[in-house]
Amino acid sequence: MSHKIGRNEPCWCRSGKKYKTCHQAFDEKIERIREAGHIVPDHSMIKNADQIAGIKKSAQVNIAALDYVAEHIRAGMTTQEIDEMVYEKTTSMGGFPATLNYQGFPKSACTSLNHEVCHGIPSEYVVLKDGDIINVDISTKLNGYFSDSSRMFCIGEVSPEKKRLVKVARECIDVGLKEVKPWGFLGDMGQAIHDHAFANGYTVVREIGGHGVGVDFHEEPWVSYNSKRGTEMLMAPGMIFTIEPMINMGRVEIYIDDANGWTVYTEDGKPSAQWEVQVLVTDTGYEIISY
């Protein structure tokens, strides 16, 4: 903080309350944890009540768009058709796809099939077929607030091996959520996810992780799923970030498509699966914002 707030001054969170009755004890606790050698969030990562309300409204649009995809996705559909559904549903509710033109990304959704790990670009030439697994990842901007989540879909009759991968990837989200607690550490969640994936014979992508999101599309902290308990950033009430481990059936190595500069693939060509939720750290645990 550039200015030390007086006890009787308005709190930095814009609640209208005096600092001493609002975030003074919170700040003092974080400072003690920082002095103990841990990484702690700054005020920019702590969302206030108005921001949380705005982010939740954005998330309602994001959830509705993914629900719409879930209702209509099928074999024979192109990934471009998925993209069009996302754009139409999102804009019809007053939002805008946050990925569209983000750092040059050309579409409203990421559609990643089979051995594509993430950032697959929708195309009129890519047709869903029986046996595919696909991750549809979308993000919404509404009134300046951002939401972000993704889901896996099994197309038609999927092999038992792929079904199990999708199932365990979902379980990784659930075991990670159990570790989202105020005054715990992101590494608590990261290790739980890592251990569950490896116990099932899978690997967890190292180079790409989750992120803070809400006021901007991508914020601090960066969230790893190959981390250790008691490490990484402190989780404090008011933080919002994504949990989105990418679980590979085979080796952990990945590469980026040279032609488009976006799509990430598994090096060994084996399938990858990912679910993504956006979570708020609360005073007692967590709340899922978008899924």
Is 1 a residue whose pLDDT tops 70?
Answer: no
- Average pLDDT of the segment spanning 177-204: 98
CB 253 within 8 A of CB 267: yes
**Mean pLDDT in residue range 242-257:** 98
Q: Which two tokens stand for residue 13?
A: 């969170």
Is pLDDT of 2 > 70?
no
Assess whether 22 and 131 both reside in one domain: no
pLDDT in tens, 197-234: 999 999 999 999 999 999 999 999 999 999 999 999 99
pLDDT score for 3: 65
63: helix, coil or strand?
helix
- How many distinct structural domains can be found in the chain? 2
**Whole-number pLDDT of residue 290:** 98
Look up tokens 């471009």; give the residue.
80
- In this structure, the answer to whether residues 9 and 99 fall within a common structural domain is no
97 and 148, same domain (yes or no)? yes
The percentage of the chain sitting over the pLDDT mark of 70, rounded to a whole number, equals 99
Distance of CA 106 to the CA centre of its chain: 20
* pLDDT tens readout for residues 4-46: 899 999 999 999 999 999 999 999 999 999 999 999 999 999 9
Q: Within this chain, do residues 11 and 51 fall inside the same structural domain, yes or no?
A: no
Compute the mean pLDDT over every residue in the chain, rounded to the nearest whole number: 97
d(CA 75, CA 155): 6
- Same domain, residue pair 27 and 171: no
- The answer on 109 and 7 residing in a single domain is no
The answer to whether residues 192 and 160 belong to one domain is: yes
Q: Are residues 227 and 153 in the same domain?
A: yes
Mean pLDDT of the region 79-101: 98
* 54 and 33 belong to one structural domain: no
**Tens of pLDDT, residues 68-88:** 999 999 999 999 999 999 999
Q: What is the CA radius of gyration of the chain?
A: 20
* Global pTM value: 0.95
Residue 64's domain comprises 41-290
d(CA 224, CA 186): 8
Rounded to an integer, what distance in angstroms lies between the CA atom of residue 215 and that of residue 44? 9
**Rounded mean pLDDT of 137-158?**
98
Same domain, 8 and 92: no
The 219-223 sheet, strands edge to edge:
219-223, 210-212, 240-243, 277-281, 286-290
Amino acid 4: pLDDT = 84
Two structure tokens written together for 45 = 């990562």
Q: 68 with 172, same domain?
A: yes
CATH of the domain at 272: 3.90.230.10
Residues 80 and 180 in one domain: yes
Q: Quick check: 114 pLDDT over 80?
A: yes
For 145-174, b/e burial (b = at least 16 CB within 10 A) is bbbbbbbbbbbeebeeebebbbebbebbbe
